[in-house]
């Protein structure tokens, strides 16, 4: 693979990890298509991790949901945050009405805003 791999240690895997970000998000960005929540990790040297919440109401059938998930993961991989942060992307119903380019542009914009935010522990 290469620099843009997306390995298991870069994902939020357990409900307790999701709960921590949902209950105490330090950063929050919103658009018609997505809600992005992020929480700083205790060890800033750990890689940034991503969690996805894509429901049927937001994206329709499994094929559409999987396409959106792949697009979110790819955009996240390309950004490659260098700080210890847990990020959750929640899809909203507005995502159904957008094409791939519009979704990617929205995600890149949100990830750029997140990258500019200062770490709370710093």
Domains of the chain: 8-116 (3.30.230.10)
Name the band, by pLDDT with cuts 50, 70 and 90, for residue 122.
Answer: very low
Mean pLDDT, to the nearest integer, of 107-113? 90
Instruction: Kindly report, residue by residue over 38-75, the tens digit of the pLDDT.
Output: 988 777 667 788 999 999 998 888 999 999 999 998 88
With a cut of 70, say whether residue 4 has pLDDT above it.
no
Q: What is the 3-state secondary structure (H, E, C) of the chain?
A: CCCCCCCHHHECCCHHHHHHHHHCCCEEEECCCEEEEEEECCCCCCCCEEEEECCHHHHCCHHHHHHHHHHHHHHHHHHCCCCCEEEEEEECHHHHHCCHHHHHHHHHHHHHHHHHCCCCCC
pTM: 0.85
Residue 107, C-beta contacts closer than 8 angstroms, at least 6 positions apart: 34, 71, 72, 75, 76, 89
The confidence score (pLDDT) of residue 109 equals 92
pLDDT at 8: 79
Which pLDDT tens digit goes with each residue over 40-50? Answer: 877 766 778 89
The pLDDT score that the predictor gives to residue 79 is 78
């Amino acid at each position: 693979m290469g620099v843009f791999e997306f390995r298991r240690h870069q994902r939020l895997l357990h409900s307790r990890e999701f709960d921590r970000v949902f209950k105490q998000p330090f950063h929050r960005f919103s658009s018609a298509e997505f809600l992005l929540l992020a929480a700083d990790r205790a060890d800033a040297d750990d890689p940034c991790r991503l969690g996805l919440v894509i429901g049927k109401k937001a994206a329709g059938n499994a094929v559409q949901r999987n396409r959106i998930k792949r697009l979110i993961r790819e955009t996240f991989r390309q950004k490659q945050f260098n700080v210890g942060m847990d990020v959750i992307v929640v899809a909203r119903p507005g995502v159904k009405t957008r094409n791939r380019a519009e979704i990617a542009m929205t995600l890149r914009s949100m990830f750029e805003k997140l990258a500019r935010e200062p770490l709370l522990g710093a």
